[in-house]
């Protein structure tokens, strides 16, 4: 029986010596078993087990040039991402494909407030790029490095796969619904574009355009609505809603561009003693799981968040395997009418 090394982890050299083979044969046993006989491989694996030897993941990565990891480049700090239930649903979809295909998942938030700085230190075979603009330095850097990537919630790009939802159509539909109820004093609780995403572009720009589309049919424009732009968190939704309700004339409906912001708005309205929807209607965008049992149950625009994550991961793994056809997938949206909206009290 081979003896275990004293004072340290066993190495491939120890396995080779005990099994009476070369170090190359040990490497083949773990990484390229077809290059040695099954009997030799079984002997090497048996000796490795007795010695307690396992190959180094880093060594395997350096040898193959592959990490078997998918990276997700995030436009916000990790704490902000983890606070937002949207990302939990999105990453669930990505994770389902990772589990199915044998990949691990690496989250890469901005490094020193820069997504560009995060790219060189993220050890991944490819990246899902969330919410960045196609002409940005990040996309150019990924192309320069020859790294496969998929764009999520960006403008369409001919040189890479992309996944988005019909943000404009969804925002148009929910705004039209409020207008048909009779609301004319609308407030829009919008997402702060921040320094990374390139301003009112991508999903945010499309949602605002959809709102403008619906307003135009009623003879109104964006100048006729109150607008607040805040980071996506329940606390910020609460703060912004209090400020919006202090304006004159007071809005009869708050159209939030995320469910999380809508939750905060309802918190603020309840604290102000205003009934929802009796005094003020509130809508969201996403249809997170909580929206169906939130009180009042939230009227919102449903997007297929988990499906978006699965589609992005499928596209990326195809690209990593060299099967990429630069597909573009636009997922539909659905207006979900619940209890947080009603006709305005005149």
pLDDT one-digit tens code per residue, 302-341:
999 999 999 999 999 999 888 867 788 999 999 999 999 9
pLDDT bracket for residue 195 (50, 70, 90):
low
This prediction has a pTM of 0.78
Winning range, highest mean pLDDT, from 56-70, 100-114, 286-300: 286-300
Q: Which pLDDT belongs to residue 67?
A: 67
Token duo for residue 275:
């009934």
Reported residue count of the chain is 346
Q: Which pLDDT belongs to residue 11?
A: 83
pLDDT above 50: residue 197:
no
196 CB-side CA count, 13 A? 24
State how far Cα 91 lies from the chain centre: 6
Domains of the chain from N-terminus onward:
12-64 (1.10.260.40), 69-165+306-330 (3.40.50.2300), 167-302 (3.40.50.2300)
Asked if residue 312 lies in contact with residue 152, where contact means CB atoms within 8 angstroms, the answer is yes
Token duo for residue 241:
């809603």
Rounded Cα distance, 61 and 97, in Å:
21
pLDDT above 70: residue 200:
no
3-state SS, the chain, equals CCCCCCCCCCCHHHHHHHHCCCHHHHHHHHHCHHHCCHHHHHHHHHHHHHHCCCCCHHHHHHHHCCCCEEEEECCCCHHHHHHCHHHHHHHHHHHHHHHHHCCEEEEECCECCEHHHHCCCCCCCEEEEECCCCCCHHHHHHHHHCCCEEEECCCCCCCCCEEEECHHHHHHHHHHHHHHHCCCCEEEEEECCCCCCCCCCHHHHHHHHHHHHHHHHCCCCHHHCEEEEECCCHHHHHHHHHHHHCCCCCCCEEEECCHHHHHHHHHHHHHCCCCCCCCCEEECCECCHHHHCCCCCCEEEEECHHHHHHHHHHHHHHHHCCCCCCCEEEECEEEECCCCCCCCCC
Rounded Cα distance, 102 and 313, in Å:
12
Q: Which of 13-22, 47-56, 69-78, 156-165 has the lowest mean pLDDT?
A: 47-56
Mean pLDDT of the chain: 87
């Amino acid at each position: 029986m081979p003896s275990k090394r004293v004072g340290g982890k066993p190495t491939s050299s120890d396995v080779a010596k005990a099994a009476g083979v070369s170090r190359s044969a040990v490497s083949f046993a773990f990484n390229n078993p077809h290059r040695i006989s099954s009997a030799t491989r079984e002997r090497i694996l048996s000796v490795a087990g007795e010695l307690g030897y396992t190959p180094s993941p880093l060594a395997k990565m350096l040898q193959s040039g592959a990490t078997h990891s998918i990276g997700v480049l995030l436009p916000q700090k990790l704490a902000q991402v983890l606070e937002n239930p949207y990302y939990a649903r999105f990453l669930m979809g990505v994770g389902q494909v990772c589990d199915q295909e044998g990949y691990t998942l690496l989250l890469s938030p901005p490094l020193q407030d820069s997504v560009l700085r995060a790219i060189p230190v993220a050890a991944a075979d490819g990246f899902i790029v969330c919410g960045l603009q196609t002409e940005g330095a990040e996309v150019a850097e990924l192309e320069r490095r020859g790294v496969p990537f998929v764009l999520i919630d960006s403008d369409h790009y001919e040189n890479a796969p992309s996944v988005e939802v019909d943000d404009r159509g969804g925002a148009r539909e929910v705004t039209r619904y409020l207008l048909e109820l009779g609301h004319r004093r609308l407030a829009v609780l919008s997402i702060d574009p921040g320094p990374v995403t390139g301003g009112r572009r991508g999903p945010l720009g499309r949602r605002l355009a959809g709102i403008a589309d619906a307003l135009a049919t009623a003879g109104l424009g964006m100048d006729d609505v109150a607008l607040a732009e805040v980071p996506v968190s329940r606390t910020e939704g609460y703060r912004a809603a209090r400020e919006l309700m202090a304006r004159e004339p007071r809005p009869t409906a708050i159209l939030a561009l995320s469910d999380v912001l809508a939750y905060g708005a309802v918190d603020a309205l309840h604290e102000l003693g205003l009934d929802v929807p009796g005094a003020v209607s509130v809508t969201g965008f996403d249809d997170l799981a909580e929206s169906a049992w939130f009180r009042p149950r939230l009227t919102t625009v449903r997007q297929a968040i988990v499906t978006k994550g699965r589609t992005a991961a499928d596209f990326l793994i195809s690209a990593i395997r060299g099967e990429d056809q630069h597909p573009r997938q636009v997922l539909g949206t659905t207006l979900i009418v619940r209890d947080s909206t009603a006709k305005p009290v005149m």
